[in-house]
Each structure stands twice: as C-alpha cells, then as structure tokens.
Amino acid sequence: MHKDVFQELEWRGMIHNHVPGTAERLSEKPTKVYIGFDPTSDSLHVGSLVPIMILAHLQRAGHTPVALIGGATAMVGDPSGKSKERNLLTAKEIQYNMFGIRKQLQRFLDFESEDNAAVIVNNAEWLGKFNLLDFIRDIGKMVTVNTMMTKESVKKRIETGISFTEFTYQLLQGYDFLHLFKTIDCEIQAGGSDQWGNITTGTEMIRKELGKSAYAFTCPLVTKSDGGKFGKTEQGNVWLDPKRTSPYAFYQFWLNTSDEDATKYIKLFTMLDRKVIEDLITAHQQEPHHRALQKELAENITTTVHGQEGIQKAERATKLLFGKSERSDLDVFTAQELSQIFDGMPQFELAEDILENGLSMDEMLSGVTAICESKSDARRALKENSIQVNKKRISLDYVCTKKDIMSNGIILIQRGKKKYFLVTVVKKPE
C-alpha cells in the first residue's frame, strides 16, 4: 500500500479541499472511498475523468474504490453548478444509462482484484425504499434548514429559483454517505469542488447520527488556460462513448491542447509515474515544437478509453488527413466514423444504380455532386491531377463505377491537399 497517495494526488493537482484528518486516514490502512456519478446520460464525458482517475489512483494505493451510480438522485437532479433545473429522467432511462457508465468505468478500475476489487452501488437500492413520511422523519431531521441554506449549491440558485425537489438533493447525497458508512464501512467521500456542500452534509450526518468521524476531499474543476470550458468543442461535449465522439475526435481533442494545459493534463489524466511525467515536461520545454507532451497525453488517454483498436483507428484517421494513405486505410472505418473524421466537410448522397454503367468523373464532380462549379472546372481539375478517389489520383478519362464503393458504402473524393468530400452511395430499396 502506498502511504503517500494523498500527497500524490496533491502533486497531480487533484486536491481542492478536504476535511481535516483525511490525508492521515488514507495513510493509516486501506479503506473504502466513494465518488458518485449521476446517470444523466448513457455515457460519461471527459469532465468526469478526474474523479475516475482519483478512484484509479486510490485503488493502485491499496484502497477500495466505490463508484456510486445515482439511480435515485438522477430522478431529482443535482443543482450544484447548474443555473436552471435539469430535465428529470425516467427509471427506464436511468437503468439504460447505468449500464453504459458501468462499461466505461471498467476501463479504469479493476473489478476482479482479489484484494481491493472496485465496487459499484446504486443509491436507488436504499433511497427507493423510503416513503415521504420516512424521509421527513428519518433524514429531514438530521440537518437544519439554516445549514442547508449556507451551502454554495443552494445559495447560487436562490436568486434564480430552486424547487423543493432540488433543495432536498443534498439530504439525499448526505444520506448516501451515512448509508455506505454504516453498511460497507466506507469512511471517505470524494467529488468535484462544486460538491463540497453536499459532501460535508454527509460527514455532518455521520457525526450526529453515529458519533463518528468521516472524511472527504474534493478535486478542482478542470479549466483551460484560455478561459474556455474544458471538455467542450464546437461540436459539443467530448464523450467517452466512441459512438458519440469518435476515437479520432477524442485523440485530436487531447493532441490540440495548449502547452500550458498539456503540462497540467498529463498529471491529471494519465497514470504515468512522476519521474516519467517530469522528464516529459522537461523534454517538451526544451523542444516544444515536437509537441511530445501532447502526443503522449493523446495516445495514453485514448488507449485507456478506447483500447488498442481505438488508438490505431485514431492514428489511421490522423494519417488520412495529414499523411500519406491508401484505400485500405479508409476501408477499416465505418460510414459513421468517416463522417465524424471528416466532420464539417461537404457530404453528398448518390444512388447506386447511377454507377451501374459507369459515371464520367467530370459528371460526378459537377453534376451529381457540387465538388466543382462546372464541367469545365471539373475537367481543369482532372487535367491538373488534383483529384483523388479513395486516395488514388485519377486522370481526365477516369470512369467511376461500383468498384469505387468501399465496404463502408463511401466514396471519398479529394481535391487538392485539404478539400475532402464524402459521397454516400445509397442502395435502391428491394
């Protein structure tokens, strides 16, 4: 067991606030530490990675990570960090989302360890048993309204309006901690800095109800050096689910981080040892143009989240856009993946029967699609050898046929070095 895990988390920038005695408790003997995840979607996004990495570090240090899936609290909605009330989910939606989140957590946590296997619990199992009167009598009495009003998550929403539903959220989360403390001897809770009020409600309940000490710490919310919101792109959230964010887009998100952010992120989002990280940072500072830090960060976290197949696809996609590639490199991707890789590029549909007897390339470029402004423009481009079909340069007399349709149903046309066009071939309904 690593006794300096708290110091390790501090060095990585993962500690924002903590209850006195937390570091000492973590160094004494193995314990259980829980972090909650609300199943508001069937996938987590990169904003959830810091708490996940905290659990991974704690498990490596000999502690038992407990991932609490908020099956009950997701039906209420956490007001922390929110300017307005969230849409409430049905029990069926929550169950579906939980399944997806569990699969993603398995990428980071060992659920098969003989010594300290990770645990997943669902607070609907105990909170779902309460009726209204039980809740008011057994939970509501533990914390005064005065105390609840002082919590930052409530104070920020008072001005804009907060429903009773959301107001009770901290009681539910607080009770989660009390329940886990009593049933599985879980002594520590962690979470984002915006959760501090909810978390300390739990430590207060444990002290009042059981007369015992519980511990907690929070991690800072990740920010970008340019002031932009972390985990957001022009396309929206960066998800861990490859169907929502392709391995290529995920890889590029990390690869395109600034030098300042990469120096911070390499500590937060990888399990690399301190010496390795410090050497990487030093090497990067000496030769920043090589972007070694960004490359290691992108490769490391993409491999963790998407496996070897995912990183290979990401690197192949990068090669498609920025290096030399062939048709065989295109064939490994699905139509959806290619659409994500070439996001923002013009896309067209083409009926398969049009290719039955062959289609002249000037007609393909100017008639069927709008890649070229006219037939004369198309012929000029072909004469200049600036047109490629599926990464193969073609001439003026080239005829497009069914043989050009890749296994994913796509024909990729390129004009010049950077202009790509996706042509999706649609089969005639049988």
Residue 2: which pLDDT band, with cuts at 50, 70 and 90? low
Whole-structure pTM value:
0.82
Q: Which helix (H) or strand (E) holds 37?
A: strand 32-37
pLDDT for 82? 46
Say if residue 340's pLDDT is above 90: no
Distances (CA, A) of 416 to 130, 322, 391, 413: 66, 13, 11, 10
CA distance 58 to 47: 19
Considering the segment(s) 335-426 as one domain, its CATH architecture is Roll (3.10)
With 90 as the cut, is the pLDDT of residue 302 above it?
yes
Strands (E), 352-390: 359-360, 387-389
Q: Which helix (H) or strand (E) holds 421?
A: strand 419-426
Query: How sure is the predictor about 292, in pLDDT bands with cuts at 50, 70 and 90?
Result: very high
Q: What is the rounded average pLDDT of the residues 102-124?
A: 94
Select the highest-mean-pLDDT range: 35-44, 130-139, 341-350: 35-44
pLDDT at 157: 65
Domain ranges of the chain: 5-219, 232-323, 335-426
Mean pLDDT across the chain, nearest whole number?
89
- What topology does CATH give the domain 232-323? Tyrosyl-Transfer RNA Synthetase (1.10.240)
What pLDDT, on the 0 to 100 scale, is given for residue 318? 84
Options 3.30.70.3150, 1.20.1250.20, 3.30.70.120, 3.40.50.620; which CATH number does 5-219 get?
3.40.50.620
| pLDDT band at residue 430 using 50, 70 and 90 as cut-offs | low
Asked if the model's pLDDT at residue 409 lies above 80, the reply is yes
Q: Is the pLDDT of residue 146 over 60?
A: yes
Q: How far apart are CA 127 and CA 166, in angstroms?
A: 15
* β-strand partners of 347: 422
- The pLDDT of residue 153 is above 70: no
